[in-house]
Amino acid sequence: QVKLVESGGGLVQAGKSLQLSCVFSGSTFGDYALAWFRQPPGKEREFVAVSRPFGGDTYYADSAKDRFTISRERAEATVNLQMNNLKPEDTAVYYCAARREQLFGASYNYNSQTSYNFWGQGAQVTVSS
């Protein structure tokens, strides 16, 4: 069974940086798309970024482009989310999610939470103004 454990959340001032990490276990890391979603207070969960396993493609929500970077550390089976120039509106619980892919498999909506089978417990990020 796939298990995802996030770490690195906390309280940070606007304009500062923070890195979230998600450790993957229970299956073959290289077969999974790994994504970050977030849920701001009182709002729906939303897509942030995804790293796909074959070809290394990454995709970002508009709110994350140019400020956030998703990356994989294969040797440690970890996916990171480097967040720079944080804003108060980035305050949310951040979740790591995983979906097994197959080479030349069917396409899917990588920005939809329903596309992912496995979820971490979440990490709180609070950005003060």
pLDDT exceeds 90 at position 55: no
What's the rounded mean pLDDT across residues 29-33?
Answer: 95
pLDDT digits over 70-124, tens only? Answer: 999 999 999 999 999 999 999 999 999 999 998 887 888 999 999 999 999 999 9
| Measured distance CA(64)–CA(86) in Å, rounded | 10
Average pLDDT, the chain: 96
Residue type, 69: T
What's the rounded mean pLDDT across residues 28-37?
Answer: 96
Q: pLDDT class for 56, splitting at 50, 70, 90?
A: confident
What's the rounded mean pLDDT across residues 51-69?
Answer: 94
pLDDT exceeds 90 at position 4: yes
- pLDDT recorded at residue 98: 98
Cα–Cα distances in angstroms (integers) from residue 82 to residues 44, 70, 104, 105, 114, in the given order: 22, 6, 29, 29, 24
What's the rounded mean pLDDT across residues 49-69?
Answer: 94
At residue 106, what are phi and psi to the nearest 5 degrees? Answer: -70, 150
| Measured distance CA(64)–CA(48) in Å, rounded | 6
**Alpha helix positions (H), the chain:** none
